[in-house]
Amino acid sequence: MDLQPYLQRAVEAVREWESEWGSFRRHPSTRLDEAAVRHALSAYTSRLRGNCPFFHPRYAGQMLKPPHPAAVVGYLAAMLINPNNHAMDGGRPTSEMEKEVVARIAAMFGFPAAALGHLTSSGTIANLEAAWVARETNDRGAVAVSDQGHYTHGRLADLLRIDLRMVPSDDDGRMRLDVLEPAVRRGEIGTVVMTAGTTALGAVDPIADVVEWRDRYGIRVHVDAAYGGFFALAAGDDSAPLEDETRRHLQAIADCDSVVVDPHKHGLQPYGCGCILFRDPAVGSVYRHDAPYTYFTSADLHLGEISFECSRPGAAAGALWLTLELLPLRSDEGLGPMLSAGLRAARAWHALLLESHVLRPYMPPELDIVTYFPEPAAASAAGVSQASQEVFERGAEAADEAFFLSVLRLPGDQFARRHSDLETDADEVRILRSVLMKPEHEAYVELLHRFVTDAAAR
């Protein structure tokens, strides 16, 4: 999809609608000098050149990529009008679109049609709402999250004065249920936060197993699927290269109390688009203490009544709506094949790393995040950190062969359990990490592998 003609068409369509309201004179104070515009715009765009090329497959670092052109066109068209999804009279069309896209996301997870949910400005705010609702609806004790959970949970617990218990993770980066269960059995834990796609390794916590405790122990289960949530589409596709366990846990999100997913990560949207969903619409009463009714559905509510944030961009809902019209949440078309391509790219790179004498994989990828490090000159953890840092820095300077990775810090003992042949001489080990979140990575991994290998061999 070519951006420019559709941008043009979107602007024209909005201008046409505007013209139907009759002409009026723009205030002179809003007028700008053309030369000044050209000058400022040129300064602006030249400063933007200082970014890494997030759009290019040679950028294989953090969770970053530009939105799909469909989202850009959708965002721009609504932004020209600037509806506020706080309330219906702030913008009925985009509020209705928000309910439609939220229903589609709920269906993707297998949540009931009555589930309550809305878009948020981020995964942070979505998790904040989940933590707030959990605190208000379950006064039994602490919240448990794994040590691989996002750092936002620690901050949110501080903010909401929630007792947070860190549960250690296993060597695959998944929460250790053997450690969690005794505390749950003793009634100390009110809510378990499971992560579907940890930020560092892309690990999926054993959600299905914790869901089984839900009724037995009366706990709430919240899933932080900000990053990995859309892989629920791949879980429903037998040809997607996911392990059976990963598939089972992603499918178990259907039975959890709440889930967070970030359309601004794997949902092709610009930043400013998170989403929170609650299975039981009755939790809406937490948002509106003065509500005259106790039963809520998104369908007959002003979204502002069930959202912690007040003003929210209607354009974000519009962008997501247009994107999902064209790229539906399906495993066999739309978003699904893009996610599967990333999964295959990660496995293909892992296979190349296994055969390499210059680079070594840290562990097999569970989703689309690959972790690896250069074989160090000195066979030690400190040697790994130094070699990783050097390759990371060389990548950005390699002209035609430039590449962009990220550096991941791991506790020394965690690293040592997987690579015991290397001397443990540091508390922390730095390795390399690549998030292969663009489908174009699949065709590019061989070249990327060569670039990184060349830089490491130098």
Residues that bind ligand PLP (CB under 6 A): 122-124, 127, 150, 152, 195, 199, 224, 226-227, 262, 274
Least distance CB 274 / ligand PLP (angstroms)? 5
150 vs 430, which CB is nearer to ligand PLP?
150
Extract the tokens encoding 439: 């489908």
123 vs 190, which CB is nearer to ligand PLP?
123
77 vs 234, which CB is nearer to ligand PLP?
234
- Helix 152-160 vs helix 123-137: crossing angle, to nearest 10: 40
Least distance CB 3 / ligand PLP (angstroms)? 24
**E strand map for 17-114:** none
Least distance CB 122 / ligand PLP (angstroms)? 3
Least distance CB 54 / ligand PLP (angstroms)? 15
98 vs 205, which CB is nearer to ligand PLP?
205
Contact 264, 124 (CB under 8 A): no
Determine the Cα–Cα distance for residues 135 and 258; give it in Å rounded to an integer.
13
Determine the Cα–Cα distance for residues 423 and 440; give it in Å rounded to an integer.
37
Residue nearest to ligand PLP (CB): 123
**Secondary structure of residue 364 in the 3-state scheme:** coil
127 vs 340, which CB is nearer to ligand PLP?
127
| Residue keyed to tokens 């250690």 | 168
| Residue keyed to tokens 């559709």 | 6
85 vs 453, which CB is nearer to ligand PLP?
85
Least distance CB 436 / ligand PLP (angstroms)? 15
* Closest among 78, 159, 118, 127 to 310, alpha carbons compared: 118
| Residue keyed to tokens 């901050």 | 155
Edge to edge, the sheet with strand 369-374 lists 359-363, 369-374, 428-435, 406-411
Least distance CB 265 / ligand PLP (angstroms)? 6
272 vs 412, which CB is nearer to ligand PLP?
272
10 vs 193, which CB is nearer to ligand PLP?
193
| Longest Cα separation, the chain | 77
Least distance CB 149 / ligand PLP (angstroms)? 7
Least distance CB 439 / ligand PLP (angstroms)? 19
Extract the tokens encoding 27: 């205030």
Determine the Cα–Cα distance for residues 267 and 70; give it in Å rounded to an integer.
12
Determine the Cα–Cα distance for residues 60 and 354; give it in Å rounded to an integer.
19
**E strand map for 16-123:** 116-120
